[in-house]
Amino acid sequence: MTDFKKEAIDLIFQAEIGLSKDEIETLIEIPPTYDMGDYAFACFRLAKTFRKAPNLIAEELVNKIDAGQYFEKIENVGPYVNFFVSRNKLTETVFNSIKAEKDKFGSTDVGGGRKVLVEFSSPNIAKPFHIGHIRTTVIGNSLYKIFKFQGFDTEALNHLGDYGTQFGMLIAAYRKWGDAETIEADPINELLKLYVKFNAEAEKDESLIDEARYWFKELEDKNEEAIELWQWIRDISLKEFNKVYDMLNIGFDSYAGESFYSDKMKEVIAEMEAKGLLRESEGAIIVDLESYDMPPALIKKSDGSSLYATRDIAAAIYRKEHYDFYKNIYVVASEQNLHFKQWIKVIELMGYDWAKDCIHIPFGMVSLEDGALSTRKGRVVFLEDVLNKAVESTLNIIKERNPNLENKEEVAKQVGIGAIIFQELFNSRIKDYVFSWDKTLSFEGETGPYVQYTHARASSLLEKGEFKLKDKVDYTLLKDEDEINLIRLLYKFPEAVLDATYKYEPSFITRHIVEIAKAFNKFYNSCPILSAEEDLKEARLMLVYCSKMVIKTGLALLGMEAPNKM
């Protein structure tokens, strides 16, 4: 696809102003409105060199530069040289690129086959898969798809929380009050009841915490009863989690959780010790990080059991040895910022220069309208319930608005679950937000259903117009401002995907396809399509086809379906 910005840079460079192409690129701006051009070059920096006012330099530059085939005109506005892209060239490059690349339009080869690991979701075994997990799950899945789209060899990792003191609590609770048959009938709810009861009783009797620690230590020491109970709890929990993953259409390349690294920690701790990083503090083993303005990283508790940091360090070292990753990405809530800074610093102190390639992607927290989520107190909203309610609400809307729609249940699933995903990925991931049923299930405004409906509208137009891809379409017939604005947004889609890649931020794509949907509907309402003269109809249907392809690709990168009918 023609890079019009690069063409503008080349023209300025040919005017011999004493700047490199890279320097010129830093001075290129995007004007606030298209009537001021598509690109603008600021001449302030040249004032010292040429000893002239920037507006006079801009005027001289315009007289030196020939617009050529890529620009309709080049003019100066005060101290700026403004470039107006040729509308015909813009339409030609967009149509030809999308026609050739189809659902690969917007992708690049920046990945070059390099290995990228994306760790996301990672729920704790035996605890509810609740609304608090939605963010890591859908942000991580989208980043996985985005990196894959950009030519990286990408792996999705589910680092299950299947180890730690909470398993000591569960084993102790099960041995006191548990019943296998009751738990098998409703695993997560029953295990949650045991967990909540144990914590409530432990507030009255502190000796229960010692009991929990004892059983976790037994688990680490390979006690047969502890391992058998732990494996059973892990298996039935994962079976329940997979119901949600199936609804979200999310899969993983690895489910190796914390337990997978339990036999790798001794070697890692020995390596830290050999490198002089460990010291004792109140019976525990730590790495002192005071000189880095951080509290100490706890490596081993006073009772000898391991901690999260130990397991994360062991996991990162294993992954480097096993995958030789280019980037090792962790999609984990911002409340874990310090934890990640600590253990990544420890890896750096161990002498591993790839520590910089372990990247924590934080996101804001979810709370309920009446306060924070708390598994210990049983205050949770199950994610499966949220998804089911979204599907049910969508089905009711479809029955009301389009009762004759085929495959209503399937479309309701695509749209309802899409609404949840889209809401999560619309705002910057770092923002905290309050979960609200009303907002989540709203189908008005800048929402997933709105974008999906636009895709369905485009599909319907193509079907009614009996559209077929042709070698030649007279793109010069597309002159209306609403047509050109839509084409401009399609042209900028690859840039939005690149931004999402480099900034680990799916919302760049979400917001861009909302803008495409808005521009498409404006075009649809202002430009007759099926009733236009044949050549113009073909050109406009080609624009419909290109819009449909880009919206579908954008939705796919978010982890959403694009129904053809709604």
Active site residues: 127, 130, 133
Residue located via tokens 């690349």: 101
Per-residue tokens: 64: 């030196």
Q: Which of 334, 330, 266, 342 is nearest to 300 (CA)?
A: 266
Q: Using alpha carbons, list the distances in angstroms from residue 159 to 280, 308, 429, 430.
A: 29, 12, 20, 21
Identify which of 96, 81, 93 has the alpha carbon closest to the alpha carbon of residue 19: 81
For residues 63 and 109, is the Cβ–Cβ distance under 8 A? no
Which single residue is written with the structure tokens 């749209």?
415
Q: Which residues contact 369 (CB under 8 A, 6 or more apart)?
A: 434, 435, 436
57, two tokens: 């330099």
Indicate the residue type of 240: E
Contact between 268 and 313 under an 8 Å Cβ cutoff? The reply is yes
Q: How far apart are CA 124 and CA 547, in angstroms?
A: 41
Instruction: Give φ, ψ of 360 to 5 degrees.
Output: -90, 125
In this structure, what token pair is assigned to residue 500?
Answer: 């999402």
* Coil/strand/helix, residue 281: strand
Strand-strand pairing, 80-85 and 39-42: antiparallel
Triad 5, 11, 16: Cα angle to 5°: 130
Distance linking the first and last C-alpha atoms of the chain: 33
Q: What is the full DSSP assignment across 297-352?
A: EEEE-TTS-B-HHHHHHHHHHHHHHHH--SEEEEE--GGGHHHHHHHHHHHHHTT-
Task: Report the 10 Å Cβ neighbour count for 353.
Answer: 8
Closest residue by Cα to residue 208 from 163, 162, 179, 171: 171
Which amino acid, residue 507? S
Beta bridge partners of 328: 117, 358
Residues 6+ apart with CB under 8 A from 341: 294, 360
224-248 helix and 383-401 helix, angle to the nearest 10 degrees: 20
> Exposure of 38 by Cβ count < 10 A (0-12 exposed, 13-18 middle, 19+ buried)?
buried
Dihedral (CA of 478, 483, 485, 491) sign: negative
Burial class (CB within 10 angstroms; exposed 0-12, middle 13-18, buried 19+) of 293? exposed
